[in-house]
Structure 1
Amino acid sequence: MSSPKHAVLHQIVVNDAREFAVWPSARPLPSGWRPAGRTGTREELLTHLRSAFAPLVDLPARAQVRAPRAGLSGSPGGSRTTR
């Protein structure tokens, strides 16, 4: 493991789809990516991204729990069936 004084600097980068990544600062950015404004060690940046996006990770699961389930009553008028 490298010591802090020899740690390679990285940066957080973002693309047009709002996807974030950690990229070595010394390497040229791939096409379509731009700096997001934060630099540090890879570990520092990963920790930052996890803390910044942790509340968003559970949103789909929470939305699914809150959303009413379709088809539980069988029909718009209730669970009554006609023959």
Structure 2
Amino acid sequence: MAFDDENAVFRVVRNDEDMYSIWPLHRPVPAGWSDAGFTGTKAACLAHVEQIWTDMRPLSLRRAMDGEKAANAGGNGAAR
């Protein structure tokens, strides 16, 4: 299997939730994922993912939490 081959060429893929993974270059990108524009060895792709994917939370959760923060910040100011 390509995932076990340290010399195989991989691509970095990303889904709609802004989550990253690697996928063998010779296989079609799976449904729900898109090419993130980086290819290389398994080690290079994993290093790239580690560098760019700094917030592991899914995009929908980050948006919900940001909305919650904004709502809470708006309620903290007292009217004068």
Measured against the shorter chain, the TM-score band is 0.5 to 0.7
Bigger CA radius of gyration:
1
Aligned length: 55
User: What runs of 5+ residues in structure 1 fail to find an aligned partner?
Assistant: 58-83
More helix per residue: 1 or 2? 2
2:9 matched to 1:9? Answer: yes
- Show structure 1 runs of 4+ deviating over 3 A: none
2:43 matched to 1:48? Answer: no
Name the structure 1 match of 2:25.
25
1:28 is paired with a residue whose SS is coil
Output the TM-score relative to the length of structure 2.
0.56
User: What runs of 5+ residues in structure 2 fail to find an aligned partner?
Assistant: 57-80
Q: Percent identity?
A: 32
